[in-house]
Amino acid sequence: MRTPMQPEVKWPAEGNARVPYRMFSDPDIYRAELSRIFLGPTWQYLALAGELPQPGDYLTTFLGETPVIVTRGNDGEIHAMVNRCAHRGNLVCLKRRGHADNLTCVYHAWRYDLEGNLDSVAFRRGVAGKGGMPASFRLEEHGLKKLRLDQFGDLVFGTLSPEAPPLASYIGNLIGSRIHRVLHGTPKILGTTSQILHNNWKLYFENVRDTYHATLLHTFFTTFRISRLTSEGGVDIAESGAHHASYTRNKVDRVDQATYRQTVQF
C-alpha cells in the first residue's frame, strides 16, 4: 500500500510486461518489500537439514536483511532465531557457520541455549550488592526472537509471521512434486559456496525466469549438450503464482527415457 509521502508509480501502457525502473531503485519501495514480503506471511528458505548434522551445529543466514541463526539443538531438532541479542541488539553469532555448546553475545556475555532461550546474564545480581538487574527480571522473557520453522524434505524454511499458511500449502502440489523429484532422498553435502550480488533482489528473480538467455550466456550447456535445439522444456507456475520450476528435457535413445535439468525458485 502506498504511503501519503510516496508518489504514485505510473505503469507503462503495455501493462505488466514493462516494469518502471523505479521499482528496482526506490528505497521506500525496497523497505516496504522487506516488511511485507521477507518479514511478512511468506516462507523463506534457510538451510538444508543436512548442513546441521550434530547437536550444536549452527549457521547464519538472512530473512531479507534480518540476520538469522539456524541451529541443531540438543533435542535433535532444528531451531532458528533472529541473530540479535535481546540486550543491545548486537550480533550473537559472528561466523558463517560453526559448532557451539551455547550462543553467547561477545558484547555483554548474555548467553542463550541452542533454542534461543536466555540462560544467563553477566553480573545479573551486580557486584558487591550494587547494580545488577532488577528483581522483576526474568530470563524466560528475554530470549532471542524465534522463527516458525517447517521442512519440505531436507529443505528448512522459516518465517516470522504467524499468518503464513502451512508450508506444504504455501509450496503447492505442482512445485512440491518438482522438488520431490530431485530431493526424494537425503542429499550429501559436498561443500558450500555463496555469492553476493549487489543489486535489487527482484533482478535475480527476473533473471531465473528468463529462460532463453541460458544457452546464449552459459555456453557450457551447449558445449556439453546439456541443452540442445531439440530439447523440450518449459516453466511450471505454482497454483498461487508465487513460485515456479523451470526444466529442460532431452530425449535419449529409448522413447520412454529422458534426462532432465530442473531449477526451482520460490
Kindly indicate the confidence band of residue 65, based on its pLDDT and cuts at 50, 70 and 90.
very high
Better-scored residue on pLDDT, 211 or 239: 239
Residue 50 sits in the same domain as residue 115: yes
Residue 7 sits in the same domain as residue 77: no
Tally the domains of the chain. Answer: 3
Does residue 101 lie within any of the structural domains? yes
Interatomic CA distance for residues 187 and 125, integer angstroms = 48
Dump strand ranges (E) for 26-120.
Answer: 44-48, 57-63, 66-72, 78-82, 97-99, 103-104, 111-112, 118-120
Residue 146 sits in the same domain as residue 51: yes
Residue 33 sits in the same domain as residue 49: no
Last residue of a domain, one of 135, 159, 183: 159
pTM of the model: 0.87
Does residue 125 lie within any of the structural domains? yes
Comparing C-alpha atoms, which of 46, 154, 146 is closest to residue 97? 46
Does residue 52 lie within any of the structural domains? yes
Q: Which CATH number goes with the domain that contains 123?
A: 2.102.10.10
Residue 21 sits in the same domain as residue 63: no
Does residue 164 lie within any of the structural domains? no
Residue 48 sits in the same domain as residue 32: no
Better-scored residue on pLDDT, 186 or 94: 94
Does residue 166 lie within any of the structural domains? no
Give residue 229's domain range: 195-265
Residue 67 sits in the same domain as residue 108: yes
**Interval 12-20 mean pLDDT:** 81
Residues found in the chain? 266
**Interval 36-51 mean pLDDT:** 96
Residue 239 sits in the same domain as residue 254: yes
Residue 56 sits in the same domain as residue 101: yes
Kindly indicate the confidence band of residue 19, based on its pLDDT and cuts at 50, 70 and 90.
confident
Better-scored residue on pLDDT, 253 or 262: 262
Q: What SS3 class is residue 208? A: helix
Interatomic CA distance for residues 245 and 228, integer angstroms = 19
Residue 53 sits in the same domain as residue 20: no
Residue 65 sits in the same domain as residue 26: no
